[in-house]
Amino acid sequence: MKRLIVNADDFGLTEKVNQAIIEGHLKGIITSTSLLANGVAFESAVRLAQLHPKLGVGVHLNLTDGSPVSAPARIPSLVTDKGVFLTGPLSLARKVAARRLNLADVEGELRSQIERVLAAGIPASHLDGHKHFHVLPPVFDLVIQLAREYGIKGVRCTAERSVELFRLIRRNNDSSIEILKQYLTGCALSVLSSGFRRKLRLARLSCPTYFYGITQTGFLDAKALQKIIADLPQGASEIMCHPGYVDTELSSTPTRLLSQREAELQALIQPEIKQLIAECGIELISYRNLAESP
């Protein structure tokens, strides 16, 4: 059977991102979302999640943007002298390569983020990483450990299924370099993720068999969605998306995804997309359903 999780990242980033995610859930195909414990709109996201219990909610672990949940003095290897996270996953990767990443700091901050979400009354369905930092080998082992400890049944595995790269580039010719960079990022993440699925199975944690959305980040229009859905294989798949509305609050964040978020939302709520899912016999699920599978 074909089963599909459509997960909206960045819940809690801004009020307008929260609004778009709920709209995509109620009007479209979003079944799941990932909550930023350090997001400026965290409390709003929690209230919305409680109002819409059919929406699966996981923890969008974050070590790359904004301020930590922990006191900065307790996690010095993760923050700048201003007390905010080092910018970008490459900074973390360089620290891993140089063996300068303090895993005790990482564990402490990830615990703080998970505990903040759970303390808000959100039964977290899964863990994933903002900008996919969680696939860094020493970090991923920690994520598995924490998922088991806190009873969280799902973890995202970012081994991206192959995409029709050149068709995507033809539709977005002005952004060909960006798409190629994202494609190569997806390839690198797939290599890093290659052994993780086995580790997840051994830990009795769930993850979809197939994953989509890295190459298409910022370019997940209706045609890209239609292609993914029409070619969806048997088993469980996840499409990652980033819906939102642009306002001054979003523009002041480090994200490069602005108007692209509005375009993604419009694709996600198109009636034709829902119709195609029905025609293809695809069951829309969340990570909760994945964990409940026999």
Hey, which of 71-75, 158-162, 211-215 has the most confident mean pLDDT? 71-75
CB distance 110 to 143 below 8 Å? yes
pLDDT tens readout for residues 31-66: 999 999 999 999 999 999 999 999 999 999 999 989
**Which pLDDT value is given to residue 181?**
73
Class of domain 2-292: alpha beta
The whole-angstrom distance between residue 163's C-alpha and the CA centroid of its chain comes to: 18
**Percent helix, strand and coil across the chain, each to the nearest 5:** 50, 15, 35
CB distance 30 to 287 below 8 Å? no
**Which pLDDT value is given to residue 163?**
65
Please name the residue ranges forming H helices in 158-286: 165-171, 176-193, 196-202, 222-230, 248-251, 259-268, 271-279
This prediction has a pTM of 0.89
Hey, which of 79-88, 112-121, 209-218, 244-253 has the most confident mean pLDDT? 112-121
Mean pLDDT across the chain, nearest whole number? 87
**Averaged pLDDT for residues 190-214:** 85
**Averaged pLDDT for residues 150-167:** 79
* Distance separating alpha carbons of residues 114 and 270, to the nearest angstrom: 33
Q: Which class for 288: exposed (0-12), middle (13-18), buried (19 or more C-beta within 10 A)?
A: buried
Look at residue 294 and tell me whether its pLDDT is greater than 50.
no
Say which residue, 49 or 176, is predicted with more confidence: 49
State the CB neighbour count (10 A cutoff) for residue 232. Answer: 20
Q: Which residue has the tokens 């108007």?
A: 259
Identity of the amino acid at 280: C
Give the percent of the chain with pLDDT over 90: 59
Phi and psi at residue 104, to the nearest 5°: -65, -40
The whole-angstrom distance between residue 78's C-alpha and the CA centroid of its chain comes to: 21
**Averaged pLDDT for residues 91-114:** 85
pLDDT tens readout for residues 246-288: 888 776 666 655 567 899 999 999 999 999 999 999 999 999 9
* Distance separating alpha carbons of residues 211 and 158, to the nearest angstrom: 6
* Distance separating alpha carbons of residues 140 and 128, to the nearest angstrom: 10
Answer positive or negative: Cα dihedral of 107, 110, 116, 121: negative
Look at residue 172 and tell me whether its pLDDT is greater than 70.
no
Helices 103-119 & 137-149 angle (0-180, nearest 10): 40
**Which pLDDT value is given to residue 179?**
66
Beta bridge partners of 61: 129
